[in-house]
Amino acid sequence: MATYKKKGSKANKAQNSVENHSTTAEVFNTLDETASRSEQFIIKHQKIIFIILGLVVASILGYLAYQKFVKGPQEKVAADELAFPKAYFEDALTNSVAVDSLLTLGLNGADGKYGFVDISSEYSGTKAGNLANYYAGISYLKLKNYKEAINYLEDFSSEDELLGPTAKGAIGDAFADINQPEDALDYYLKAANLRDNNFSTPLYLFKAANTAMDIEKFDKALELFNRIKKEYPNSQEAKNIDIYINKAKFASKN
């Protein structure tokens, strides 16, 4: 015969109902107690809380005001100032005479106008001030003032695909010219790895590899030459790369 389960009695249903109500009541009591403690905390510390909130709001409003009424106009003034020495810098790149004089005018300014050095100092928090560091660094490098070139280029930062690596690579060039090849190698590698493209990356890998050869780090040089061949086969530096690879292999065995 089939066996059927007995339905719960009315007494059991009543007991379950009481227990459910009891549990629900406990939950609400707990929530009430938590809410009450929170209210008490707020009431007790409301002065401090309002002061903190006021400071946060004041900071946000102050930042927005600074961006609109101070930094915005300052950016425009700095950009206008940068146009004057930049013209001398560009002339120096395209002329074959009086190059040093043009670079010096770009650095120091003339006719009451700021040069890169002044703009870097006076507008240090602006985009133009940052660019002034780059132009000053490259100018000093071309003038063979390597210490100043390194100082200004290290103060420059950029997310640009080519400008950032070029600045790092220029620091490498400066260290190479003052016979600090270890530092030059370090900056060439930074320049190569800062951005991945078919121009600056193989260029600075090649400079790094040749510098590694000069200081007899032949395994490192071989690694870098091989990287150019594998990753940048269409670059200018890869055209005769097998010659350099074989040279590094031969040197590493001796």
pLDDT in tens, 206-218: 999 999 999 999 9
Under 8 Å between Cβ of 193 and 169: no
pLDDT in tens, 11-61: 444 444 444 455 665 655 665 666 667 667 667 666 676 677 666 765 654
Asked if the 158-254 domain carries CATH number 3.90.850.10, the reply is: no
Q: Residue 11: what pLDDT? A: 45
Give 84's Cβ-side CA count (13 Å radius): 19
Using a CB cutoff of 8 Å and minimum separation of 24, what contacts does 231-238 make?
Answer: 231/201, 231/202, 232/198, 232/201, 232/202, 232/205, 234/198, 235/198, 235/199, 235/202, 235/203, 236/202, 236/203, 237/202, 237/203, 237/205, 237/206, 238/202
Residue spans in the chain of domains classed CATH 1.25.40.10: 158-254
Q: Residue 32: what pLDDT? A: 61
Three-state secondary structure string covering 175-226? HHHCCCHHHHHHHHHHHHHHCCCCCHHHHHHHHHHHHHHHCCCHHHHHHHHH
Residue 152 scores a pLDDT above 80: yes
Q: In the predicted model, what is the mean pLDDT of the chain?
A: 84
More confident residue, 86 or 39: 86
CA-CA distance, 74 to 42, in Å (whole number)? Answer: 43
Under 8 Å between Cβ of 235 and 200: no
Tell me the range of 21-25, 52-56, 70-74, 244-248 where mean pLDDT is highest.
244-248
Under 8 Å between Cβ of 152 and 115: no
Judged by phi (left if over 0) then psi (alpha if -120 to 50, else beta), residue 46 lies in alpha
pLDDT in tens, 106-115: 999 998 999 9
CA-CA distance, 83 to 14, in Å (whole number)? Answer: 88
pLDDT in tens, 155-198: 999 999 999 999 999 999 999 999 999 999 999 999 999 999 99
Q: Which pTM was predicted?
A: 0.73
More confident residue, 174 or 65: 174
Q: Residue 158: what pLDDT? A: 94
